[in-house]
Amino acid sequence: MNKDINILNIFTNKINLLDLNRTEIEHFIESLGYKEFVAKQIMRWIYKYYCSDFKEMLNLNKKLRRQLEETACIFAPKFTREKISCDGTIKWITSLDNNHNIETVYIPDKNRSTLCISSQIGCVLNCHFCATGKINFKRNLKVSEIIAQIWQANKTLKSRNINTSITNVVFMGMGEPLFNLKNVVSALKIILDIYAFNLSKRRITISTSGIVPALNKLVNMVDVNLAISLHASNDVTRNIIMPINTKYNIASLLSSVSQYLKKSNANHGGVTIEYVMLHGINDSRQNAEELARLLKRLPSKINLIPWNTFQGAHFLCSTDNHINIFANVLRKNGFTTIIRKNRGQDINAACGQLTGDNTKNINFNNKI
Ligand code: SAH
Ligand code: SF4
């Protein structure tokens, strides 16, 4: 991997078109003296043909091509390393500046190709069961760094003659998307745009640990599927395993989610509640009953996630028996409940295992 390429735009000071949504590209093109429709032609080259060289955009006039070369670039950080799981899941690592890495996970299934993308390098939130929370937070990803993960994934699949592009995008990689709200929303506009990735809002999911003020803003910004990392049936347990709960407790979080659902078309089947199964911590029958009571008035479906281990962690995953009993209590209470299959465990690509191989920075001092 040529690291110089990844920081090219920093040195050349050119505008990276992958940082701009359609309206912004239109403004940029107009500032160069051209009509707005040219923006769509350029976006077609970028998002349909995966072209990053203005010289190849032959339906643009020569003068514009030269102007674009002087002022802009199309720069998508490349995947640096790849790990392939025995179940077909692929983990791609991208080295950004200062050797900070992010991870992107491709999960092929019968009818869909899901890409799990990162929104930050590391995470400040320190949920105790999550490997990403144990690496030092570095920074938010730029719009182009979020978009590049999908762009490079599609380009890679195409180069391998895999006859599908990404059909679903989930913000469940490294980081807390609502702590990078502005860039994530800009990226979502590009993912939804018919002249870019053109994915339907029902095929995009933002997963959040529950940053209530940001969620209250999101409701007026964009409509996509919401997944809430609840992971506990009461504040006492959630305060311990997810310290963010001491700031935004379960009641305030669920009330904010209700407001989002009132305005949303994407979440027509209800919000997805994520619940990681931690042996002896949140997995008793009483916890399941308490969870059912908590969610009684919230249209929701529940994903039980068997906890994935990582080096230095101090938890155990619940037994299959406990997970099944827990699921059955929820089902008896009328909740659609799925026990999530963990994909890519053998390459540390499953939920909560993503560290970007930044393991030098891992900090295991925060035992609970
Ligand atoms: N920060 C966001 C999105 C990234 S985490 C969030 O917390 O929602 C994606 C999902 O994986 C979240 O539901 C998270 O709680 C869960 N997760 C984290 N660590 C895990 C682990 N070790 N095993 C299983 N799921 C985990
Ligand atoms: Fe951050 Fe999400 Fe991991 Fe919590 S679970 S530390 S919010 S990435």
pLDDT in tens, 331-343: 999 999 999 988 8
In this predicted structure, which of 111-115, 325-329, 344-348 has the lowest mean pLDDT?
344-348
Q: How far is the CA of 213 from the centre of ligand 1 (A)?
A: 20
Atom of ligand 1 nearest to the CA of 125: 1
Query: DSSP labels for 258-305?
Result: HHHHHH-STTTT-EEEEEEEBTTTT-SHHHHHHHHHHTTTS-EEEEEE
Domain match, 165 and 49 both: no
Assign 324 a pLDDT band (cuts: 50, 70, 90): very high
Domain match, 57 and 85 both: no
- Greater confidence (354 vs 74) lies with 74
Assign 221 a pLDDT band (cuts: 50, 70, 90): very high
Q: Is residue 131 part of a domain?
A: yes
Does the CB atom of residue 176 touch ligand 2 within 6 A? yes
Q: How far is the CA of 332 from the centre of ligand 2 (A)?
A: 30
Taking residues 35-52, what's their average pLDDT? 96
pLDDT, tens digit, 9 for 90 and up, residues 241-298: 999 999 999 999 999 999 999 999 888 889 999 999 999 999 999 999 999 999 999 9
Taking residues 169-190, what's their average pLDDT? 97
- Residue of 121, 128, 130, 307 with the most ligand 2 atoms within 8 Å of its CB, for mutation: 130
Q: Is residue 368 part of a domain?
A: no
Percent of the residues in the chain that have a pLDDT greater than 70, as a whole number: 94
Domain edge (last residue) among 14, 49, 73 = 73
Question: Quick one: which ligand is closest to 232's CA?
Answer: 1
C-alpha–C-alpha distance, residues 122 and 252, integer Å: 26
Assign 10 a pLDDT band (cuts: 50, 70, 90): low
Question: Quick one: which ligand is closest to 121's CA?
Answer: 2
Atom of ligand 2 nearest to the CA of 123: 1
Query: pLDDT at position 288, please?
Result: 98
Domain edge (last residue) among 33, 50, 73 = 73
Number of domains comprising the chain: 2
Domain match, 64 and 120 both: no
Domain match, 62 and 115 both: no
Q: Is residue 248 part of a domain?
A: yes
Element spanning 210, H or E: none
In this predicted structure, which of 70-79, 220-229, 339-348 has the lowest mean pLDDT?
339-348
Domain match, 27 and 132 both: no
For residue 94, the SS3 value is strand
Query: pLDDT at position 312, please?
Result: 86
Q: How far is the CA of 73 from the centre of ligand 1 (A)?
A: 34
- pLDDT at 204 > cutoff 90: yes
Domain match, 157 and 221 both: yes
Q: How far is the CA of 32 from the centre of ligand 2 (A)?
A: 42
Does the CB atom of residue 127 touch ligand 2 within 6 A? yes
Query: pLDDT at position 230, please?
Result: 98
Q: How far is the CA of 207 from the centre of ligand 2 (A)?
A: 10
Cα–Cα nearest to 233, from 316, 333, 309: 333
**Residue 64's CATH number:** 1.10.150.530
Residue closest via CA to ligand 1's atom 21 equals: 352
Range of the domain at 27: 3-73
C-alpha–C-alpha distance, residues 139 and 174, integer Å: 11
Q: Is residue 233 part of a domain?
A: yes
Domain match, 292 and 234 both: yes
Domain match, 68 and 83 both: no
In this predicted structure, which of 7-16, 56-65, 194-203, 330-339 has the lowest mean pLDDT?
7-16
**Residue 137's CATH number:** 3.20.20.70
* Sign of the CA dihedral with 118 first, then 140, 225, and 238 last: positive
Assign 12 a pLDDT band (cuts: 50, 70, 90): low
Domain match, 100 and 16 both: no
Q: Is residue 360 part of a domain?
A: no
Q: How far is the CA of 133 from the centre of ligand 2 (A)?
A: 5
Domain match, 56 and 21 both: yes
Q: Is residue 367 part of a domain?
A: no
Taking residues 160-169, what's their average pLDDT? 91
Distances (CA, A) of 140 to 100, 118, 121, 164, 170: 12, 10, 6, 30, 17
Query: pLDDT at position 13, please?
Result: 84
* Mean pLDDT (the chain, rounded): 92
Residue closest via CA to ligand 2's atom 6 equals: 133
The answer to whether the CB of 170 falls within 8 A of the CB of 115 is: yes
pLDDT, tens digit, 9 for 90 and up, residues 79-89: 999 999 999 99
pLDDT, tens digit, 9 for 90 and up, residues 108-148: 998 999 999 999 999 999 999 999 888 889 999 999 999 99
- pLDDT at 98 > cutoff 90: no
Reduced DSSP (H G I as helix, E B as strand, rest coil) percent helix, strand, coil of the chain, to 5: 40, 15, 40
Taking residues 290-312, what's their average pLDDT? 95
Distances (CA, A) of 233 to 205, 250, 281, 284, 303: 23, 9, 10, 10, 14
Atom of ligand 2 nearest to the CA of 134: 6
Question: Quick one: which ligand is closest to 171's CA?
Answer: 1
Q: Is residue 362 part of a domain?
A: no
Q: Which residues line ligand 1 (CB under 6 A)?
A: 129-130, 172, 176, 207-209, 229, 231, 274, 276, 305, 307-308, 351-352
Atom of ligand 2 nearest to the CA of 352: 3
pTM of the prediction?
A: 0.93
Residue closest via CA to ligand 1's atom 11 equals: 351
Domain match, 145 and 240 both: yes
Catalytic site residues?
103, 351
Domain edge (last residue) among 19, 44, 73 = 73
Domain match, 64 and 40 both: yes
The answer to whether the CB of 58 falls within 8 A of the CB of 69 is: no
- Residue of 103, 176, 241, 247 with the most ligand 2 atoms within 8 Å of its CB, for mutation: 176
Q: How far is the CA of 240 from the centre of ligand 1 (A)?
A: 16
Taking residues 164-172, what's their average pLDDT? 96
Q: Is residue 208 part of a domain?
A: yes
